[in-house]
Structure formats: structure tokens, C-alpha cells
Amino acid sequence: MNYYNEKILPQLIQRACSSKPASKQREKVIPYAEGVVLEIGAGSGLNFEYYDTSKVQKIWALEPSLGMQAIAKKTPVSKMLDIEYLSLLAEDIPFKKNTIDTIVCTYVLCTIPNVELALKKMYEVLKPEGKLLFTEHGLAPDKKIKVLQNLVNPIWKRVSGGCNLNRNISMLLKGAGFYTVEEQMYIPGFRFYSYNYWGKAVKSSI
């Protein structure tokens, strides 16, 4: 199983997450990152090409999978990006409160085991008025698709590295205290995994 998780699964995730529809979603949010950035589940570095190097000071790339890190380190990136990897889970964010300008989450909130705790940590480390930029797949609004998502989810999780099909991303963000400005729709692909949420979640200054 370790061989599958570190050798085979990273390649499968790389192919799925580098699809044209997913890439278009990344392009909608990543250019708005600025300052000191914490990218949660940086994976194989698919977001790196979309960062605006004139806005970003440093990127902390949090990624627990060494297999994904290995792929990322082979990905050509701008020499203007200062990227440092952290081999940690999202629940173990190491930074002090109010120290991060932007957090980036793309197709990762579905996978974090204790997503509520992880979002609480993200909220804490963001500076007042800091933003979490996200594009995620999750729970669809259609009853039939929801039933299918719930039915398929137990098997899907086992073969996809813990990915959940049926998380309500909007509710999770708001439950962590964020104010969200977001959009939702199906993107091209099978409907049970192609309902996307994207936008920004802002930390209150109070």
C-alpha cells in the first residue's frame, strides 16, 4: 500500500488534477495570491505557473507526500518564486497566528482527514483581512448526484488517497469563520466529481 501511495497514486493524481478544466479553475484564483503564501497540499506543483511573481514574496508549499514533492521538484518554475517545502499534514500547520498573507487550497480540502481542524489552523495563521483562495470539488446541489456521491464515496476514498466526493466546501469555510466570495458550477467531467466551488474566503479583521 505504501508503494501505491508514494509511486502510483501521485501519478494518477497528477493526471487527474492537470486536466484542462481543472487548470482553468486554478487560473481563476491563483494570480490573486500575494505576500507570504501558504499553499496547502501543494501536490505536484500545478499551481506554481499561475502565481504572479510581482505580488508573491514567498511560498510555503505544504505537502506530506514525498512522492508528490518529487514530481513537483521536477516541474519547471519561475526563478522569481521562492518556494520552500514542508512535509507536514494540513492539521499540523507550524506557523504562528496572524503571520500569513494568503493561503491557497486547490483540490485538497476533499482529502484532509480532519478538515475542520485544518481550516481552524488556517484561519488562525492568516493575518487580519488575509484571504484563502480556493477551487475545490464537492457536494453537488442535485439530489440524484448527491445520492450517487454518497454511494460511491466509500470506495472512491480508498483508491484516491482519501478524497471525498461529498464535502460541502462553502459550509466548511463558513463554519471555520471565513466570509466567502464564491461561485459554484459543474465543470466538464463526470458530474459526481465535477461540481466546483471557487473564490476567496476572507478572515475578519475583528
* Torsion region of 45: left, alpha or beta (phi above 0 gives left; psi -120 to 50 gives alpha): left
- Topology of domain 2-202, per CATH? Rossmann fold (3.40.50)
Total residues belonging to the chain: 206
Determine how β-strand 126-137 pairs with β-strand 195-202.
antiparallel
pLDDT at 1: 53
C-alpha cell at position 90: 494540513
pLDDT at 169: 98
Task: Specify whether the CB–CB gap between 163 and 153 falls below 8 A.
Answer: no
pLDDT at 68: 86
Hunting for cell 500500500 — which residue is that? 1
Distance CA 48, CA 69 (A): 13
- Cα 144 to the chain's mean position, in Å? 26
Distance CA 162, CA 71 (A): 20
pLDDT at 17: 79
Hunting for cell 481542524 — which residue is that? 117
Q: Where are the alpha helices (DSSP H) in 86-142?
A: 115-125
pLDDT at 66: 87
pLDDT at 137: 97
Residues of the chain with pLDDT under 70: 1, 6, 205-206
pLDDT at 6: 67
Domain boundaries, the chain: 2-202
pLDDT at 75: 82
pLDDT at 205: 65
